[in-house]
A = this chain, B = another copy of it.
Amino acid sequence: MTIPPAAPDTFHVYDTTLRDGAQQEGMQLTVHDKLRIARYLDQLGVGYIEGGWPGANPNDTAFFAAAAEGQLTLRNATLVAFGATRKAGTFAADDPQVQALLDAKTEVVCIVAKSHDEHVLRALRTTLAENLAMIADTVSHLVAHGRRVFVDAEHFFDGYRANPEYALEVVRTAADAGAEVVVLCDTNGGMLPSWMADVVSAAAQIGVDLGIHCHNDTGCAVANTVAAVEAGVMHVQGTVNEYGERTGNANLVTVIANLQLKYGWPLVPPSALAEATRITHAIAGITNLPLSNRQPYVGSSAFAHKAGLHASAIKVDSNLYQHIDPMLVGNDMRMLVSDMAGRASVQMKGSSLGYDLSNRDLAARITEAVKARELDGYSYESADASFELLLRSEMGLTDEFFEVLAWRVFTTHEVKPEGDSEATVKLRAKGISHILVGEGHGPLNALDVALRGALTPAYPQVDNFELTDFRVRILDQGHGTDAIVRTLIDLTDGERTWTTVGVGTNVIEASWEALYDGYRWGLLKRD
């Protein structure tokens, strides 16, 4: 069981969640979503963040514009714009898509190039020579404009099988034109690990730094990536939570954890890897795509034990029954059904919010409260504001801004200009009862209008509060419309945005609870 030598200093961890991951069915990211995800990826310690394809869709163009305007400050990562080689029979200098890459103003650009002869002839409908010219022209043009250029050699492995000379010629052309890294892409995902070494070794003869980009169609994306690394590539591409088209891309966190914890390669700071569970769950909260409980390292079941066979033995020595210490990835060993949050992470989260939870009893009590709530369906991974309110409640810090006496809401299909819903909220604030009716588009809008109206006499500052996003998730799938529902809500006061969570047997009840928490937290910070 030999372990490969330590990674070279220049090893690249390259995330493509925001570009290739966004090809996943059901994934729809706004510019705001992409900015938030990029910040999480930066916390994870990745070296490169591929942000999208500027020019190909307005959202991605807007994302790079926002980043260039200073809305995205990265501590570790370098932002990358993705695009393609120029069109056949033109010049890179005249290609608007290539210009859009320059306009994205990133230090690094990654362009996709065809490396399978059949794809060039039949899909691109050009000659093999023109494809090489397109690569050389596009890479040189971008390099001449000061960009570091990576080239994704699309369908490289299938192309190598069909026509090895041409596939290698693509790599050579890209390298000669100034590409810093040529990434071998298993675009259709059909490779197996034992097939990797020969192909990577052949490409390595060219002398350019190589990367690897795998898909999971044989269930081997992570293993194929690791096999390519063993064969000499120094750049790994993947996505968080295995997002991606079809069966998904290589799971980047699993790749990092395998190389760092099994081979001892220092790819990201250990303190960043110890945040992997929090970060992957937070990103799942933004994409609103559930993270599999069984996801390696970070899934809520990844270190959970059920078998009676193990349970007693685990008491003897838990390390006999787990392949790594779960704390290394910020996860926790759970016995039976429990939570995501161990005491250590509660303490860390509390201290990041400015609370001293070094008292073990207090930390244990809060952890128990979090566990109990998570069993009911709450999720505090991204709902920091609700977490802080729960923490304050357990610490005896009560914030009695207002008491809700009653609410109800009515929706009909008759749409009037003022909305289709009518809500009534009755509450007591600063000793005085207020009852207010609000109209709006939909029940949550109407409740928001009514709640804000009823609070305004006592707390005029709520007039600045605005609900900017909400996400709803059904929890116990299979129970249909009477299942448990979780809602996450984002409120802003123009200066900061905070997230709260609510749970209930229906979307309105859950949303109301999150809205209620949201106003309480806003008043706490603005009072």
Contacts and interface: CB of A to CB of B under 8 A. Distances in A.
A397 interface: no
A92 interface: no
A221 B297 CA distance: 14
A506 B262 contact: no
Interface residues of A, number: 128
Contacts of A257: 218
A258 interface: yes
A525 interface: no
Given A304-B245, A473-B471, A480-B467, A190 B323 contact: yes
Interface in A281-312: 288, 290, 292-297, 299, 301-307, 312
A440 B507 CA distance: 12
Given A323-B217, A340-B57, A443-B506, A419 B474 contact: no
Given A217-B302, A445-B506, A198 B25 contact: no
A411 B408 contact: yes
A99 B485 CA distance: 35
B411 A443 contact: yes
A307 B337 CA distance: 39
A322 interface: yes
B306 A25 contact: yes
Given A122-B320, A251-B219, A411-B408, A441 B481 contact: yes
Contacts of A190: 262, 323-324
Contacts of A527: none
A392 interface: no
Interface in A191-224: 192-195, 198-199, 216-224
Interface in A372-401: 379, 381-382
A480 B509 contact: no
A432 interface: no
Contacts of A307: 23, 245
Nearest to A513: B413
A334 to B, nearest CB: 9
A207 to B, nearest CB: 22
A33 B476 CA distance: 12
Contacts of A182: none
A324 B305 CA distance: 36
Nearest to A404: B413
A129 interface: no
A1 interface: yes
Contact of A509 (B217, B404, B442): B442
Given A258-B192, A413-B512, A481 B440 contact: yes
Nearest to A486: B28
Given A254-B218, A506-B411, A227 B194 contact: yes
Contacts of A116: 320
A372 to B, nearest CB: 17
A230 B471 contact: no
A478 to B, nearest CB: 6
A246 to B, nearest CB: 6
A322 B258 contact: no
A43 to B, nearest CB: 22
Interface in A165-202: 188-190, 192-195, 198-199
Nearest to A221: B219
Interface string A247-278: 11001001001100010000000000000000
A336 interface: yes
A351 interface: no
Given A246-B302, A442-B505, 13 more contacts: A1-B198, A26-B293, A28-B475, A155-B320, A218-B296, A219-B258, A220-B223, A246-B303, A247-B294, A292-B292, A406-B414, A440-B481, A469-B477
Interface of A: 1-2, 23-26, 28, 30, 32-33, 57, 116, 118-119, 122-123, 155, 161, 188-190, 192-195, 198-199, 216-224, 226-227, 230, 242, 245-248, 251, 254, 257-258, 262, 288, 290, 292-297, 299, 301-307, 312-313, 316-317, 320-324, 336-337, 339-340, 379, 381-382, 404, 406-415, 419-421, 440-445, 447-449, 466-475, 477-482, 485, 504-509, 512
13 contacts: A155-B320, A217-B296, A246-B302, A247-B295, A247-B302, A408-B413, A415-B505, A415-B509, A419-B505, A420-B509, A442-B485, A442-B504, A445-B505
